[in-house]
Amino acid sequence: MKTDKKAKKTFVSVAVVVATMVMLVFFASAAYLGDADNDGKVKAGDARTILRHAAKIELISDEACLKLSDVDGNGKIAAADARLALRMASKIDPLVEVPTTENKFGDWTSLNENEHQRVCVNDPSVVETAAHNWDEGKITKEASLWTEGEKIYICKVCGKEKMEIIPRKVSEVNVGDKLYLGSYEKNPIEWVVLEKDENRILVLSRFGIESMDYWKYTKVDTVNWKNCSIRSWLNNEFYYKSFSYDEKKLISETSVKTEIPYQADALYTSDKIFLLSISEAKQYFSTNEERMCLPTFYAVQRGVSTSLLNIDGSPIDSINGEATCSWWLRSCSGNKAAWVNSAGILCYDGSGTGYGGRFVGNYNPLAVRPAMWIDT
């Protein structure tokens, strides 16, 4: 009868221990109930430690050891816990392992531009971080010649978005390419690329877009590129009316050197829009034919100077049967400015071509071909 009672008591003790096992979930590694010093073994010394704590002789301070010492799981450490630990140490009762459990984490959330994080549910002080895992990205705005595009990447883990700027395609253009930017008198302006360096390109209007005097006044005593009418018009009225706000931001203000025929000195100005100089007209066009230029319909209406006609009425100088025009250069000396005639010949005093500079006074208009540097 005593044996049955003892067996029943042992069964109840083991059942209590097993039930307790379910309640303990915060150990980072495997441990045993009754292991008061948490060294992975249940010994008689652990039972003694539990008993001393229960008697308040020597308290257990470590939280994990306290949990393991509460063998019956009733929230209190008493002599009964020491007795159960001793039974396990003596191998009367089997050891009860507290299984290893992984921390339970919440969802990943973005921490910053480079990482996301997740917080442990049962212990908020435990936080894991990891690098964003970006998808292949999706273009939401195509880049054009003059405007940047956009590409959006989404982190596959936390949903964080980041935007990548797609460079403007103007960086892909090459010398000789033709492109459009701005408009004049409601017509898009077509440009030809003359030079390309690391961060910008030099462009010249493909056509003569306006008919204008180099100097719009009669008195011409001190005319030069710095004070001429065309320079003022290009950098004020033309610049502000022909380009949008965003287009203006692309145009570089440039230090412009202008040689003066018959003089060793040069004139320096700071311009957004300018005309080519004599040396530039030689540098960027290797033949007269390359320098030949057609006027726009608007420039013709404005009275631009075009090629003389043959007896049959056809133009002497032409491109695909259309009469070419004469156009201004910015180089100027005295009352005469350099220019390019309808045959593409450079004309300035001392040119050696038989053509001298053109009088800059009013009522002597030629075509205007603006030039400018554009940031890439």
Asked whether residue 159 falls in the same domain as residue 197, the answer is no
* Residue 273, in any domain of the structure: yes
- DSSP-derived secondary structure letter, 192: E
The tokens of 189 are what? Answer: 């302006």
Considering the entire predicted model, what is its pTM? Answer: 0.63
Neighbours of 376 (CB within 10 A): 17
Residues 6+ apart with CB under 8 A from 81: 34, 50, 54, 69, 70, 71, 72
Q: Is the domain of 317 the same as that of 270? A: yes
For residues 332 and 360, the answer to whether their CB atoms sit within 8 Å is yes
Does 173 map to a domain?
no
Q: Does 341 map to a domain?
A: yes
Structure token digits, residue 217: 């006044």
| Residue 217 and residue 150 share a domain | no
Among the candidates 118, 145, 166, a domain finishes at 166
Q: Is residue 349 part of a domain?
A: yes
Identify whether residues 224 and 157 lie together within a single domain. Answer: no
The domain boundary, picked from 52, 76, 98, lies at 98
One domain, residues 235 and 137: no
CATH of the domain at 20: 1.10.1330.10
- Structural domain ending residue among the three candidates 74, 98, 122: 98
- Same domain for 155 and 254? no
User: What DSSP string runs through 193-250?
Assistant: EEEE-SSEEEEEESSB-EEE-SS-SS--TT--TTT-HHHHHIIIIIHHHHS-HHHHTT
Domain match, 362 and 310 both: yes
User: What are the residue ranges of helices labelled H in the chain?
Assistant: 2-23, 44-54, 63-69, 79-89, 229-233, 239-242, 245-248, 278-284, 288-291, 297-301
Q: Does residue 104 form part of some domain?
A: no
140 and 203 assigned to the same domain: no
**Are both 94 and 136 inside the same structural domain?**
no
Task: Indicate the number of domains in the chain.
Answer: 3
- Asked if 212 and 262 sit in the same domain, the reply is yes
Looking at residue 360, what is its pLDDT? 80
**Residues 195 and 86 occupy one common structural domain:** no
Three-point CA angle 368, 372, 376, nearest 5°:
150
Please tell me whether residues 122 and 253 are part of one structural domain.
no
Residue 4: inside a domain, yes or no?
no
pLDDT at position 314 is 87
What values do phi and psi take at 161, rounded to 5? -110, 145
* Per-residue pLDDT tens listing for the chain (376 residues): 444 544 444 444 444 444 444 344 333 446 889 888 888 889 999 989 999 998 999 998 888 888 888 988 898 999 998 899 899 889 998 988 876 556 778 899 999 999 999 998 878 888 999 999 999 999 999 988 888 899 999 999 999 999 999 988 887 889 999 999 999 999 999 999 999 998 899 999 999 999 999 988 766 667 889 989 999 999 999 999 999 998 999 999 999 999 877 666 788 999 999 999 999 999 999 999 999 999 999 999 999 989 888 888 888 999 999 999 999 999 987 788 899 999 999 998 776 666 788 888 777 789 999 999 998 8
Whether residue 159 lies inside any domain: the answer is yes
- The boundaries of the domain holding residue 156 are 109-166
Asked if the structure places residue 8 within a domain, the reply is no
